[in-house]
Amino acid sequence: MRVLVVEDETSLADGIRRGLEAEGYAVDVVGDGAEALWMATEYPYGAVVLDVMLPGMDGFAVCAALRAREVWTPVLVLTARDGERDEARALDTGADDFLAKPFSFVVLTARLRALLRRGADRRPTVLAAGDLRLDPGARRVWRGDTEVELTARETSLLEFLLRRQGEAVTKKSVLDHVWDDRFEGDPNIVEVYVRRLRNKLDRPFRREAITTIRGVGYRLEVDGG
Ligand code: CA
C-alpha cells in the first residue's frame, strides 16, 4: 500500500518514512503543499499523512483542494498540540482523521490502518473553501454559521467554482458547465451571476472569495484570498 507523507521537518518526515516502510508500506515524502497536491492528484495513494504547517500552501488548503478536485484519498492531518481549532478545521476541509503532535508511532499506524480499511469510497458531503461551504446533495450553502439562500443556478455556479477552487476559470467554461450547451443568450449572463454570488456570499461577510482575473475570468480562493 502506497502512502504519501507531507511534512517539511526533515527529521520527522524521515522517522515516519522509516517507520511506515518497516510496516510494509511504500512511502513517498514531500515537504511542501503545492507538490503534495500535485502528487496526491496524480498518483493513487492508499492514504495521505498531511502536516498542517507547511511552506506555501498549508495542509488545510491542500486537503480542501484535493476534495474540490474530487480526490477522495483518506487524509490524516497532523495538528499542533492542543490544536482543537486545527482539528475542527481539518475535518471541515474534508480530512478523515487527525493526530496531534507529538504522537506515538503506534497510534499513527493504527489510525492509518483504520483509514486504509475504510478506503476512499466515502465522499465528504460538503464542498468547502474556508468557511464557505456547499452541500451538493442538499443544495444548501453556508458562510460560517449563516445559511445563505441561493437560486438553483447560483448554487450550480458556486459548486462549479468550488470544485475548481484556486484555478482560473473562463467565462466560456462557466457557460459550458453551468448553462446547458444550447444556451444562446448573452455570455455576460456569467458576470450577472458572479455579481449575485458576491452580493450574497462575500459582501455581507466582508470577504472577497471570488476574484476577477482580467481578460481571463474568475477564481474562487480558499478563505477568500
Ligand atoms: Ca511542518
CATH number at residue 150: 1.10.10.10
The Å distance, Cα 8 to ligand 1 centre, comes to 5
Q: Examine the domain organization and report whether 171 and 191 are in the same domain.
A: yes
The Å distance, Cα 199 to ligand 1 centre, comes to 37
SS3 call for 135: strand
The Å distance, Cα 55 to ligand 1 centre, comes to 8
Q: Examine the domain organization and report whether 14 and 111 are in the same domain.
A: yes
Q: Examine the domain organization and report whether 15 and 63 are in the same domain.
A: yes
Q: Examine the domain organization and report whether 58 and 89 are in the same domain.
A: yes
Asked whether residue 193 is assigned to any structural domain, the reply reads yes
Q: Examine the domain organization and report whether 30 and 12 are in the same domain.
A: yes
Between CA 29 and CA 33, with CA 32 as vertex, the angle to 5 degrees is: 110
- Cα separation, 131 vs 7, in Å, equals 25
Nearest by Cα to 94 from 64, 57, 136 = 64
SS3 call for 47: strand
The Å distance, Cα 118 to ligand 1 centre, comes to 26
The Å distance, Cα 159 to ligand 1 centre, comes to 31
* DSSP annotation of 124: P
Other CB atoms within a 10 A radius of the CB of residue 82 amount to: 9
Q: Examine the domain organization and report whether 102 and 195 are in the same domain.
A: no
The Å distance, Cα 204 to ligand 1 centre, comes to 34
The Å distance, Cα 44 to ligand 1 centre, comes to 23
Q: Examine the domain organization and report whether 7 and 53 are in the same domain.
A: yes
Asked whether residue 106 is assigned to any structural domain, the reply reads yes
In the prediction, which pLDDT does 107 show? 93
Asked whether residue 225 is assigned to any structural domain, the reply reads no
Number of folded domains in the chain?
A: 2
The Å distance, Cα 160 to ligand 1 centre, comes to 31
The Å distance, Cα 185 to ligand 1 centre, comes to 50
- Cα separation, 93 vs 65, in Å, equals 9
In the prediction, which pLDDT does 84 show? 77
Asked whether residue 140 is assigned to any structural domain, the reply reads yes
The Å distance, Cα 83 to ligand 1 centre, comes to 14
The alpha carbon of residue 148 and the mean position of all alpha carbons in its chain are separated, in whole angstroms, by 21
In the prediction, which pLDDT does 120 show? 64
CATH number at residue 11: 3.40.50.2300
Per DSSP bridges, beta strands 132-135 and 127-129 are antiparallel
Asked whether residue 174 is assigned to any structural domain, the reply reads yes
In the prediction, which pLDDT does 201 show? 96
Per DSSP bridges, beta strands 210-213 and 217-220 are antiparallel
Q: Examine the domain organization and report whether 96 and 42 are in the same domain.
A: yes
Instruction: Indicate the residue among 70, 86, 118 that finishes a domain.
Output: 118
Q: Examine the domain organization and report whether 89 and 157 are in the same domain.
A: no
What residues does 97 pair with on adjacent strands? 76
Q: Examine the domain organization and report whether 10 and 111 are in the same domain.
A: yes
Nearest by Cα to 94 from 115, 117, 114, 65 = 65
The Å distance, Cα 143 to ligand 1 centre, comes to 29
Domain assignment of residue 8, given as a range = 2-118
Asked whether residue 143 is assigned to any structural domain, the reply reads yes
Nearest by Cα to 98 from 207, 28, 108 = 108
Asked whether residue 196 is assigned to any structural domain, the reply reads yes
pLDDT along the chain (225 residues), means of 10: 94 95 92 95 92 92 89 90 77 87 92 83 73 85 93 91 89 82 78 96 93 92 65
Asked whether residue 100 is assigned to any structural domain, the reply reads yes
The Å distance, Cα 140 to ligand 1 centre, comes to 34
In the prediction, which pLDDT does 225 show? 46
- Cα separation, 149 vs 142, in Å, equals 9
The Å distance, Cα 62 to ligand 1 centre, comes to 13
